[in-house]
């Protein structure tokens, strides 16, 4: 790679990483909103749904992690083996892609994994996210339609 190609490669990699980040961050909201809808239907009378969503679940302090913990306590039996772990993985991938800096010319990102520093291809995390996203969203819709009423 010559000196003229290097800046173009960095810019191209950065644009691709932004696209991957945006997709994951945006689509994590599907999971969060599904959990919010289930909790609202389960705990709140129909005539108070909007008020509860606006005043409680949409509050910045009521984050995805808190909603997920309440969801687990409300529906402790997993829909399928590994359902809760899949949601945790989705949350982890979202956080990594949202906050990790780009470290390579091919979209590699650098993040802390426990006591180690990891380097991972953003595209690989993106693909893993979407594999789980569809599966989890389908289960949340089943729960919403069956138990959350």
pLDDT tens for each residue of 47-80? 877 888 777 877 788 888 999 999 999 888 888 9
Q: List phi, psi (to 5°) of 63.
A: -80, 175
Q: Do 92 and 81 touch, CB atoms closer than 8 A?
A: no
Q: Closest Cα to residue 146, out of 37, 31, 32? A: 37
pTM equals 0.77
Position 148 confidence tier, pLDDT thresholds 50, 70, 90: very low
pLDDT tens for each residue of 7-20? 788 788 888 888 88
State the burial class of residue 140 (Cβ atoms within 10 Å of its Cβ: 0-12, 13-18, 19+): buried
pLDDT at 71: 92
The residue count of the chain comes to 149
């Amino acid at each position: 790679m010559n000196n003229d190609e290097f800046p173009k490669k960095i810019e191209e990699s950065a644009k691709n990483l932004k696209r991957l980040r945006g997709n994951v961050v945006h689509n994590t909201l599907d999971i969060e909103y599904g959990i919010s809808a289930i909790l609202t239907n389960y705990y709140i009378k129909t005539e108070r749904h909007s008020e509860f969503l606006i005043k409680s679940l949409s509050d910045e302090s009521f984050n995805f992690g808190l909603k997920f913990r309440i969801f687990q306590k409300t529906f402790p039996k997993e829909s399928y083996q590994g359902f809760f772990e899949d949601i945790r993985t989705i949350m982890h991938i979202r956080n990594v892609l949202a906050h990790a800096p780009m470290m390579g010319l091919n979209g590699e990102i650098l993040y802390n994994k426990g006591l180690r520093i990891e380097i991972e291809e953003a595209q690989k995390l993106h693909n893993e996210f979407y594999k789980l996203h569809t599966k989890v969203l389908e289960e949340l819709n089943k729960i919403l339609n069956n138990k959350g009423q």
